[in-house]
Amino acid sequence: MATQIQTFLIDAFTSQPFKGNPAGVCLLDSPLEPPLMQAIAAELNASETAFLVADVSHSHTYSIRYFTPTVEIGFCGHATVAAAKLVLEKRKWPHVQFRTAHGLVLQAAPHESAVLLQFPLYLPKPYGPAPALWEALGLPAQPQVFLAEELHMLLLEVPSLEDLLLLRPDFTKLRQAVEGVKGLAVTTQTPDTPFDFQSRCFWPWVGIDEDPVTGSAHSALASYWSQRLQKKELKAYQCSRRGGSMELRITRDSTLEVKAFATIVLEGTLHLA
């Protein structure tokens, strides 16, 4: 008997179609085997696809799993924004929570035309010298590299927005520069723009050279810039080709409130024989 899955493509961190970061979202009647979810994510070929299963033991709750086209990851911010947009708009719920396979509980609620989400907050820690990393980025080596352990993501700051925009990483060298990480966030302060800071995020270790807008990275970027700027409320922009923005507010030592927009651009049915 054929299986049919409601499937959506949703642009997160934007109010306009074809901007922000596209995520696949699949609404499942029951869990699928991981190899099948991985195959679906590869077929949809968005940077991440979220798979949702209603949690009958908790009201307004879904279990959620995230797959890039090549691997499963523990937490994806933009796919969570997309999933929240879908559930809150289609179900007309006052709130929703998502339980990840790695034990996170992520809350979301509508806020005017946006979505308000509760993300974890991670504190990046100093990382050892990594001259090969700077070389792969085409930049002179500097000692300031940080590691967000929970995300397996490195973070570094460059002097200016021009430096950030001109980055042309050698992704083969980047993958070889460091081991045991999944991503890299490069960021800079941008006081002459509407945003406190901007960033670009590279994830060639999991099959994504440059991610358009990376929600999970801001769980560490918010903490980093909050300490640097002595601010609890921040406006952020990820300056990829597609681009996307969000408003951030640190509410507790371990919690980040994220306000973001999302747009449903495609709705259909996936047919499995």
Which of the following is catalytic: 43, 48, 89, 112? Answer: 48
In the structure encoding, which two tokens stand for residue 243, read together? Answer: 């681009």
Rounded-to-integer distance, Cα 161 and Cα 212, Å: 17
DSSP SS3 for 124? coil
Spatial separation of the C-alpha atoms in residues 190 and 201, rounded to whole Å: 16
Asked if 135 is an active-site residue, the reply is: no
**Among candidates 58, 32, 12, 28, which has minimal Cα distance to 240?**
12
- Give Cβ neighbours of residue 138 (< 8 Å, ≥ 6 apart): 167, 168, 169, 170
Q: Nearest 10 degrees: CA dihedral of 119, 121, 126, 127?
A: -20
Closest CA to 206 of 70, 43, 101: 70
Phi and psi at 266, nearest 5°, equal -150, 135
| DSSP state letters, 7-65 | EEEEEES-SSTTSSEEEEEEEESS---HHHHHHHHHHH--SEEEEEEE-TTSTTEEEEE
CA dihedral 50→110→107→17, nearest 10 degrees, is: 30
Question: Residues with catalytic annotation?
Answer: 48
